[in-house]
Amino acid sequence: MWEPVWRAFVLVLALWASAATARAQEVCEETIARYSVRRDGPDGFRVEAQFNRPVSRLDLFYHSPPGRPEGQAASIRNLRAFSARGREVAINYVGEGGWEVPGPDPAWRIAYRIQADHDAVDWTVGAPGKDEVATRFDRTFYFAAHAFFLADFDWPECKIEIVFNLPSGWFVTAPWSMRGNVAWTYGVQNFERNAFAMGLDTPRRAHTGGLDLEWLIDSRARAVEPRVLELMNAIPVAYTEFWERAPSRRLTAFFLRDARSDGGAFENSFTLVLPDPLAAIDQVSWSHTLGHELMHVWFGPEGIRGDAGGELSWFNEGFADYLTIKLMRRAGLISEDLMAQRVANIIRRYELGKRMSPDISLAAAGGDKLRNWQLIYGGGALVALLLDAELSMQHPEGFRDMMRSLAPISGSAFDLNSLTSQMNESTAGLARRTLAWVDARPSAGEIRARLARSGVEVSLYGPDEVYVGFAPCPALSCAPAFLAGPSPSPSN
């Protein structure tokens, strides 16, 4: 019974992959920049770059942690720029990770040293964590590309090449296309918004869910390796099937260790930071974080495209979190009890969010994500849960079909209005009504009554005590069917 479905699915993937290749070729085969990377002493790298068009401004990402006001730029040393005729031209640091060529003669070539000294600073203060900057572990140097490669962020979607001239025995673990020691990608976005690593440690590889997966684990996190292996094999299959597409043909992951857990999603790579100390019970939380960060890769690097000022954070975070619960259960990766606890967490988070972020809509809350964390994650996931519960009463895959209609990884740009309009189209207006209902701050009793109609039973005491159970339901139309799917694989 599954055979034809599976074959159709493989066909869709193949078509999508060839369409993606065609698109990339249409865009621009011209190699706009060619970088070369070589080791420069025990603590650094030498980077040279040649450009196929004149450059007058180059950037890195910029964060300003205490003790390093210039952030990532502080690790760039001896930057020199050269004109088309090979004459050295001035290039000045202008602040916030930017350099400019002040004279009339633009740069066609640059050279610099990057000092791998990022671990001297705590990047969790005033910055998003070392996973989004750089660190060292074992015999590996890890970097976010936007902390390593100076680039013109306005380059068109052309080919960018990176030649790694590293000592023998060194591996490059990177999400770009790669042949031998040469990597390439299209567009500065995919070039800069990715993580990569260089060193003597060898990555693991797998092919699953239409993806070539590659990952590297810090030896201090080796205890998690069996579970990582299980999740990396199963989650992409579940996500690719749900979305009916893979986000890219390559996906690279890094597992680091630090004082506290963290995670960063890039264009087709992501990094999970596992907490220290790491107990067996922590698997419950980091497995979910892994699923959540992976889901962001399917949504797109910064969520669905076009999220100006965070007005779609409730969707990007809440829907990613909800789908992580639903699809990990479907894949048999979490038990029904854990699923129930996670659904209870959604409601608890929303109840706390109502108190911590009074008088603000979900869309407006995204303007200050840290302050309104509970409302954004809890409220967004509650909208997703309600939509899935209610759409599933009409059609078992109504929610999935609505999500597919958004095709977030195909490059559509959305704002709040166009996103909710698109969601409305396949839901006869239910999407916007549900968002408005959650924005109107329903009482815990009202949430309980509304979910009960779909078989999600909720018991509450105060704002922080929430229990969830699922009514027995013979049809596909109610929970846990819509959450876990009609025939979930047994949990193992």
Please, which residue, 245 or 288, has the CB nearer to Zn ion?
Answer: 288
Q: How far apart are CA 130 and CA 144, in angstroms?
A: 9
Strands 250-258 and 211-217, how do they pair?
parallel
* Cβ within 8 Å of residue 13, ≥6 positions away: 210, 240, 245, 246
Minimum CB–partner distance for residue 312 and Zn ion (Å): 12
Contact call for residues 248 and 211 (beta carbons, < 8 A): yes
- Cis-peptide into 480, omega within 30 deg: yes
Count of C-beta atoms within a 10 Å radius of residue 46 = 17
Look up tokens 């003597």; give the residue: 200
Nearer to Zn ion, 258 or 317 (CB): 317
Q: State the residue number with the nearest CB to Zn ion.
A: 317
Of 132 and 317, which CB lies nearer to Zn ion in the complex structure?
Answer: 317
Q: Which is nearer to Zn ion, 254 or 470 (CB)?
A: 254
Nearest distance, CB of residue 240 and Zn ion, angstroms: 19
**CA dist list (Å): 120 to 68, 97, 132, 470:** 9, 18, 15, 50
* Omega before 277 within 30 of 0, i.e. cis: yes
Pick from 62, 145, 151: which is nearest to 107 by CA? 151
Q: Where are the alpha helices (DSSP H) in 407-484?
A: 416-425, 430-439, 444-452, 481-484
> 55 or 328: whose CB is closer to Zn ion?
328
Q: How far is the CB of 132 from Zn ion (least distance, A)?
A: 13
CB of 239 to Zn ion, least distance (A): 14
- Please state the closest distance from residue 299 (CB atom) to Zn ion, in A: 9
The residue among 272 and 387 lying less far from Zn ion, judged by its C-beta, is 272
Residue recorded with tokens 């979607």: 157
The CA-atom distances, in angstroms, between 155 and each of 62, 107, 440 are 19, 14, 44
Residue matched to tokens 């066609």: 108
Footprint of Zn ion (CB under 5 A): 317
Q: What is the rounded distance in angstroms from the CA atom of residue 286 to the CA atom of residue 297?
A: 17
Please, which residue, 112 or 299, has the CB nearer to Zn ion?
299
CB of 202 to Zn ion, least distance (A): 29
Nearer to Zn ion by Cβ, of 218 and 317: the residue is 317
Nearest 10 degrees: CA dihedral of 228, 128, 177, 107? Answer: -160
Q: How far is the CB of 243 from Zn ion (least distance, A)?
A: 17
Q: Are 165 and 181 in contact (CB under 8 A)?
A: yes
- Rounded to the nearest whole angstrom, what is the least distance from the CB of residue 261 to Zn ion in the complex? 13
CB of residue 159 to Zn ion, shortest distance in Å: 30
Which of 271/392 has CB closer to Zn ion? 271
Q: Which of 189, 198, 44, 67 is nearest to 124 (CA)?
A: 67
**Exposed, middle or buried, 28 (CB in 10 Å: 0-12/13-18/19+)?**
middle
Q: How many CA atoms lie within 13 A of 340 on its CB side?
A: 16
Beta carbons of 293 and 272 less than 8 angstroms apart: yes
Of 242 and 377, nearer to Zn ion (C-beta) is 377
For Zn ion, the closer CB: 311 or 317: 317
> φ and ψ at 451, to 5 degrees?
-70, -30
Closer CB to Zn ion, 265 or 389, in the complex = 265
Least distance from C-beta 320 to Zn ion, angstroms? 6
CB of 319 to Zn ion, least distance (A): 10
Q: Which residue spans within 107-158 are E strands per DSSP?
A: 107-115, 134-137, 140-144
To Zn ion, the closest distance from the beta carbon of 338 in angstroms equals: 19
- Angle 85-90-91 from CA coordinates, rounded to 5°: 110
